[in-house]
Amino acid sequence: MSLALVRPLPPAGSFDFRGVLREGDTIAWPQAIGEPLGLTRRLLAQRDELPPLRLFLGMSMSDTPSAVLAGGFVVSALNGAGTNRRLSGMSDILPVHVSTVPALIRGRRIPVDVVLIRARPLPDGRLTLGVIADYTAALLSAARCVIAELDERLPCTGGDAAIPAAAVHHLVAADGPEILMPDPEPSAQEAAVASQVASVIPDGATVQLGVGGLPVAVARALSGHRDLGLHSGVVPDAVVELIRRGVVTNARKGLDAGLTVTGGLFGSRTLLDHADGNPAVVLRSVEHTHAAAVMARLHALHAVNSAIEVDLTGQANAEIAGGRYLGAVGGQADFVRGAPLSPGGRAIIALPSTTPDGQTSRIVADLRGRPVTTARADMDLVVTEYGVADLRGQGLAERARRLAAIAHPDFRAALRVAPQGNAR
């Protein structure tokens, strides 16, 4: 497709979905900041004129899930994170590891028919997805129809974010707001956890982080380190300061030396402007960021993930709280299993010892039927603000002792005598 032949472009808000959608189609778009709001808002506005449809969602950070509830769509989702929490109980959750998502899409185990994206032209004639690679290439390869908003606000990024212009069937001009994800301010409890996490990450390590208050706190706690590398599914704004201060040099990564590698830029203009035209920031698909074979070639990969709760045997639930699906299987198990394959690598599950109100321990006797996102056989380090529990090679009794020791003091006595429902 020649971009010169399709200008001036019609606005996304005027696109007529009736001409491309068929009954039973599944529509998808990239996660979070990658959502093309002009097109998704137009889709929802036209809902009453369209046939029965399905949606496949990753994490959302927009108001779209609220409108979806009223639209009568059949929804499947990879997680309950972000604004997907509004869909809790209304969407069919797919409990799959992120690393497997591209193959599931290409094999139509997760069917996708129409894909909506944001894109920006590159000087070489290709388009860039700008802020996300993730599993988007698989969406594009599987779709019958791809509709793109051309959006000059996107950063020019390469790697797996660069796609051929011929992959797009319809082009419109972006006319909706862009989604930005400025870092939240970590709580004092999260900052205390982060300090413990930073204490087990050595200089020269490669680090994986996510988004949210705790990952931001961890990034800040690493400000005194040297020669760190970044290899992550997503990164927040906080990594920019680490790069500017020379904390992150990517010099000792082994693989992808000199490059910050991520699947998504989940931040504000601070992060997007840093990445714009920056050859040292490379967006890669989950088939690279979450691949065990890739992690095994990195130097001292320290993967930092979180959970809703961890039981006394070392099982982590990162999915359900209060009977609602709020989290995800996500890439946690991919990194928990992949990081120890890296020479000197460690897998860290970090969480505050209690809920924010202090009323409920997040170190629990057992999960009582709640999901096991990370199995006890895969657990390495568990970190709270009260310390680090190293579970490698430990029996069930010693695991329980070490985990109770990093629980909040108000709950330790009960945990030390608690029967462990999942222990035998």
Burial class of residue 424 in the structure, from the number of CB atoms within 10 Å of its CB (0-12 exposed, 13-18 middle, 19+ buried) = exposed
- What is the C-alpha separation between 259 and 158, in angstroms, rounded? 12
Q: Give the global pTM.
A: 0.94
Going 275 to 279 to 280 to 281, the CA torsion angle's sign is positive
Same domain, yes or no: 18 and 44: yes
Same domain, yes or no: 218 and 265: yes
Look at residues 173, 205, 224 and tell me which one is the last residue of a structural domain. 173
- What is the C-alpha separation between 218 and 157, in angstroms, rounded? 26
Same domain, yes or no: 229 and 293: yes
Domain assignment of residue 242, yes or no: yes
Judged by average pLDDT, the poorest of 12-16, 86-90, 375-379, 391-395 is: 86-90
- What is the C-alpha separation between 205 and 224, in angstroms, rounded? 13
Judged by average pLDDT, the poorest of 69-73, 119-123, 160-164, 402-406 is: 69-73
Same domain, yes or no: 154 and 235: no
Provide the domain limits for residue 365. Answer: 188-417
Contact 37, 177 (CB under 8 A): yes
pLDDT in tens, 106-158: 999 999 999 999 999 999 999 999 999 999 999 999 999 999 999 999 999 99
pLDDT in tens, 337-367: 999 999 999 999 999 999 999 999 999 999 9
Number of structural domains found in the chain: 2
